[in-house]
Structure 1
């Protein structure tokens, strides 16, 4: 649904994006994770051409946006909704007026606008609040208005620029749950910018980790978890580094109740000490990471057995 190739963006002598490639599949929630200054927001704004790349191409839903300008680009942008970090609501308008604004720009007749606004406010949980002003709303409610406005033109892609960073944890989870529901019910492809790992763990199917204008690691979370040396795995499951000599790090997916560890102890008569680890419930399912110390005469066969059972086995 979104394909960026060789994206570069420079501001004078400052390089914000340095050869970024991005592939977002239709219908997924794709997170771009990185600290402030990594280039995340610049990348997002290049996807809908609010920032025109210095070099490279952007294709959304089969249409190469970097070749467009003027009216053609404006029409293409209607298929791309955008949610802002600080809501960007018009204080002079009511909630309904804010949601209706893009429909007015599109020239939608008044009766149709009213119908559509009513549907959208119900969809985001704000039915009956259309006459309120933004200053009467909580932060989470303001963001729901922003989401409704972003959906006004029936987009196929939704861009979210740190949409939860100004919200408290409970409100963040409610907004993420809403985005996940919209993704499922409307088939929306969502590109989500964040600096919070908890956001990625809550809703993302795939992720790209950015540092210094480059993508360091990218792919489906379920695949990255099984990739040796994955930075994503290290950040989701932080363990003391460097790993002690003789220790083994095990990463596993699926039902954590499967007695794989006890099986290997019995089968190969080895000792196993758990040095640390945890289990996380991710959108792809439960994932665990353990650091263990194995002792005994047949540890090599024990590790081979764990690999056969689908565990990722890493040694220092």
Structure 2
């Protein structure tokens, strides 16, 4: 649904915000881009809908290269791309209903059709009954729900989220993430979100990329990245003391195996001694995944290692 190729953005000041970014977002998935401030995430998002025009490279959305479009064609293409903002970007002088209706007014949708669509959207995001309220009368979570409803007004295929939960408290954040996941499932929306918060990736993302200094360090499906040796996402998701002690093993338990008694079975089967040096257990989209650092000693450690790998576990050895 979204294909970004060799994307560069260099500002007039000489700052390189994006340095050869490649990214592929599949239709119907939630894709999270993780990185700290200055990594280039926001610039990437704004380049996807051409609010920022890239210096070079291409951005293709739903099979259409946006970088070659004229102004009128680009405006039409943007109607298929909704966007929600970190600080809501609502019009304070307009009611909730009028804020949601605004993109429909711009598109010259007839009044009766606008009213019906606004009512449908407010019910969808859980704000029926708030149509006549003003932004100042709403909580942060309610404001973001208005922003989401407005972004969906023109029935986009793609939804872009610019740090949509970073200004919210933890409980409200979870409710907004749950709403995004529901909209993804019910409407078939493709969602590209940027965040600096790992729990957003853990909670709702099917795929992810890590950015640093304008470049993508790695990208792919979250569960595939966890099973990849040396994965940066895995190190950030399951923090363990670094560097790993020489002779230690780092074992990553993929989905479905984190709660199985693998180590106790290993000890009984091979008579090895296992010392646990550290570990972490997380839930990804409701599925437990774990990572352990261990030291193993005994006469049959080679067979024990083969046993672990044979069960589909990722075992990384720290050589002396």
What is the TM-score of this pair, normalised by structure 2? 0.97
- What is the CA-CA distance between 1:16 and the residue it aligns to? 0.5
Aligned to 1:3: 3
What is the CA–CA distance in structure 1 between the aligned matches of 2:286 and 2:24, rounded to whole Å? 19
Aligned to 2:270: 268
Q: What is the alpha-carbon root mean square deviation over aligned residues?
A: 0.8
Aligned to 2:296: 294
Are positions 1:88 and 2:89 aligned together?
Answer: yes
Aligned residues: 316
Deviations along 1:165-219, one digit per CA (max 9) or x if unpaired, are 1111111111000000000111100000101111111111111100000001111
Aligned to 1:250: 251
- Runs of 5+ in structure 2 lacking a partner? none
What is the CA–CA distance in structure 1 between the aligned matches of 2:257 and 2:148, rounded to whole Å? 35
Q: Is the 8 A contact 1:205 1:284 kept in 2?
A: no
Q: Is the 8 A contact 1:100 1:149 kept in 2?
A: yes
What is the CA–CA distance in structure 2 between the aligned matches of 1:194 and 1:157, rounded to whole Å? 17
Q: Is the 8 A contact 1:207 1:219 kept in 2?
A: yes
SS at 1:26 equivalent:
coil
- Runs of 5+ in structure 1 lacking a partner? none
Aligned 1:149-298 pairs, distance under 5 A = 149-253=150-254, 254-283=256-285, 285-298=287-300
What is the CA–CA distance in structure 1 between the aligned matches of 2:268 and 2:310, rounded to whole Å? 16
- What is the CA-CA distance between 1:256 and the residue it aligns to? 2.7
What is the CA–CA distance in structure 1 between the aligned matches of 2:17 and 2:175, rounded to whole Å? 32
Are positions 1:66 and 2:67 aligned together?
Answer: yes
Deviations along 1:198-245, one digit per CA (max 9) or x if unpaired, are 111111111110000000111111110000110100001000011112
Aligned to 1:115: 116
- What is the CA-CA distance between 1:284 and the residue it aligns to? 7.4
What is the TM-score of this pair, normalised by structure 1? 0.99
Q: Is the 8 A contact 1:85 1:161 kept in 2?
A: yes
What is the CA–CA distance in structure 1 between the aligned matches of 2:207 and 2:259, rounded to whole Å? 25
What is the CA–CA distance in structure 2 between the aligned matches of 1:69 and 1:52, rounded to whole Å? 12
Q: Is the 8 A contact 1:250 1:312 kept in 2?
A: yes
- Between 1:12-21 and 1:278-287, the stretch displaced more is 278-287
- What is the CA-CA distance between 1:247 and the residue it aligns to? 1.2
Q: Is the 8 A contact 2:259 2:288 kept in 1?
A: no
What is the CA–CA distance in structure 2 between the aligned matches of 1:180 and 1:158, rounded to whole Å? 12
What is the CA–CA distance in structure 2 between the aligned matches of 1:10 and 1:299, rounded to whole Å? 52
- What is the CA-CA distance between 1:246 and the residue it aligns to? 1.7
SS at 2:128 equivalent:
coil
What is the CA–CA distance in structure 1 between the aligned matches of 2:53 and 2:70, rounded to whole Å? 10
